Structure 1
Amino acid sequence: MTNNRNDSRQRFAKTMWAGMLAPEHMQKVEDEVVERFIPAGGYVCRKGDPVDHWMGVMEGFLKMSSISPDGKTVTFSCMLAGGWFGEGSLLKTEPRRYDVVALRDTRVAYMPRSTFNFLLDHSIAFNRFLLHQLNERLGLFISLVEYDRMLDPDTRVARCLASMFNPYLNPGSSMQLQISQEEIGYISSVSRQRANQALQLLEKKKLLTVDYGGITILNLDGLRRFPDEADA
């Protein structure tokens, strides 16, 4: 674990599932989870890697993506502080099916498979959390297919930003999001320039404000319903 145990306890307390665990189960997690620093642009894991850990973002910003046969990068999701991922691959005991890359300097927690399986065997609360998280992730991926195939770039940016505020997948998100326009382009599958145009439109609709180094969400429900909400 990190050398500062009190700091580690505080960080784990911010994750949704940690507060559901019995004290002895949380103690096991604290004893067995390790943290690693991943620099911006570095790989947390690669497609095809063996899956030995469940992983969580302690601080920073990650994207989950893959390279299509024609060489196009397809972004599936992003993870902010408090988000955990990789449970599907652990449950199926299959190789990693995607890359996870740090979009900025990030600290990642690695829970060993043995610890993950212990929680599955001994914690009803942990199982209930995973069921909800898997359901939320499935809904997100179905939405992303819709965004990519059916929505214009402005609506895609709005919906992708809204998806970052899912309480199960990114529980630590605040309405002030430190994210660059380049990063918004990554998660929305648009260019930085096109993301900038979309943000200007969303700002005019009073759904968000563009700040130095990030954005502030003013109307989360409006982002989720855009463009219908903006035209109402």
Structure 2
Amino acid sequence: MADHGSHTRPGISRARLAHIAAWSIELPGEEADRACAGIVEKTYARGTCICPKNTILESWTGVVTGLIKVGTVSPEGRGITFTGVPAGGWFGEGTVLKNEPRRYDIVALRDTRMAFMDRATFMWLVENSVAFNHFLVRQLNERLGHFMALLEYDRLLDATPRLARCIASLFNPVLYPGAGNHLEITQEELGLLSGMTRQVANQSLKALEKDGVVVLEYGGVTVIDLERLRSYGA
């Protein structure tokens, strides 16, 4: 693991857990305490590869603040982005369950703080917590639908609809709870996540704003009509 982050002590408070992990609200006291003891937070500078592809990262990962990109590089050297994960999102549960190397790179698109739950704690919750398992079923089901939609729009849609679906995916209330209707994200970051240049992303954003589905603000986007954004171009 390319770990260039600054460390904090293992273990966090119950209040901190509730702040960084919406799923923890469902956990009974003992289970929440167990989760707290197994989490460490680290910070990473923009551009840091938090975890390279084919690295075994024996932790379940969450984004506390910032934004990360999940992607890879093709044999021809072309960068491919699978998705972005904003603050509040937890991911990588499938890899931890299978105890296999990550099949993608995790890169910080801006200064980012991450939470890592060690695999032993994660597996204890899987084996002992009904509430945690209910959460995982919802999470995995939602993620499957999320990636099917990303595959569809990447292959079938032009730039503006593709960007619209990319933005909408970052407002998924199950995968990224607590996002509200505003996301701090730059046009450059949106371009990286949707596989287009900053210039094309800028043109597409202006088209979406003109159509009344988003409002562009300095360093961010506010969604006006999420349902239209999700089906834009259909």
TM-score class, shorter? over 0.9
- The aligned counterpart of 2:5 is none
Deviations 1:122-180 (A, max 9, x none): 10111111111111111111111111111001000001100111122111312111100
- The aligned counterpart of 1:33 is 39
- Contact 2:214 2:222 (C-alpha < 8 Å) held by counterparts: yes
- Contact 2:51 2:57 (C-alpha < 8 Å) held by counterparts: no
TM-score calculated relative to the size of structure 2? 0.92
- The aligned counterpart of 2:18 is 12
Of 207, 211, 214, the match for 1:205: 211
- The aligned counterpart of 1:122 is 128
1:88 counterpart letter in structure 2: G
**Residue 88 of structure 2 corresponds to residue 82 of structure 1:** yes
Superposed, 1:139-178 pairs within 5 Å as 139-178=145-184
Shift of 1:15: 2.5
Deviations 1:83-104 (A, max 9, x none): 1111111111111110000011
Q: Which runs of 4+ in 1 moved over 4 A?
A: 1-6
Shift of 1:3: 9.2
**Helix, strand or coil: the match of 1:54?**
strand
**Helix, strand or coil: the match of 1:171?**
coil
Structure 1 segments unaligned to the other structure (5+ residues): none
Q: Tell me, in whole angstroms, the C-alpha distance in 2 between the residues paired with 1:79 and 1:106.
A: 11
Shift of 1:81: 1.2
CA RMSD of aligned residues (A): 1.7
**Percent of pairs with identical residues:** 45
Further displaced range: 136-145 or 56-65: 136-145
- Contact 1:11 1:58 (C-alpha < 8 Å) held by counterparts: no
Deviations 1:20-77 (A, max 9, x none): 1111111121122111011110122110111300011111111100111221111111
| Structure 1 pair 225–60 and aligned structure 2 pair: CA distance change class (3 A) | same
Q: Tell me, in whole angstroms, the C-alpha distance in 2 between the residues paired with 1:179 and 1:2.
A: 30
| Structure 1 pair 148–33 and aligned structure 2 pair: CA distance change class (3 A) | same
1:39 counterpart letter in structure 2: A
- The aligned counterpart of 1:47 is 53
- Contact 1:209 1:217 (C-alpha < 8 Å) held by counterparts: yes
**Helix, strand or coil: the match of 1:110?**
strand
**Residue 224 of structure 2 corresponds to residue 194 of structure 1:** no
Of 216, 220, 228, the match for 1:222: 228
- Contact 1:16 1:168 (C-alpha < 8 Å) held by counterparts: no
Q: Tell me, in whole angstroms, the C-alpha distance in 1 between the residues paired with 2:78 and 2:147.
A: 18
Shift of 1:12: 3.0
| Structure 1 pair 203–30 and aligned structure 2 pair: CA distance change class (3 A) | same
Structure 2 segments unaligned to the other structure (5+ residues): 1-7
**Helix, strand or coil: the match of 1:79?**
strand
Q: Tell me, in whole angstroms, the C-alpha distance in 1 between the residues paired with 2:18 and 2:9.
A: 12
Q: Tell me, in whole angstroms, the C-alpha distance in 2 between the residues paired with 1:131 and 1:11.
A: 20
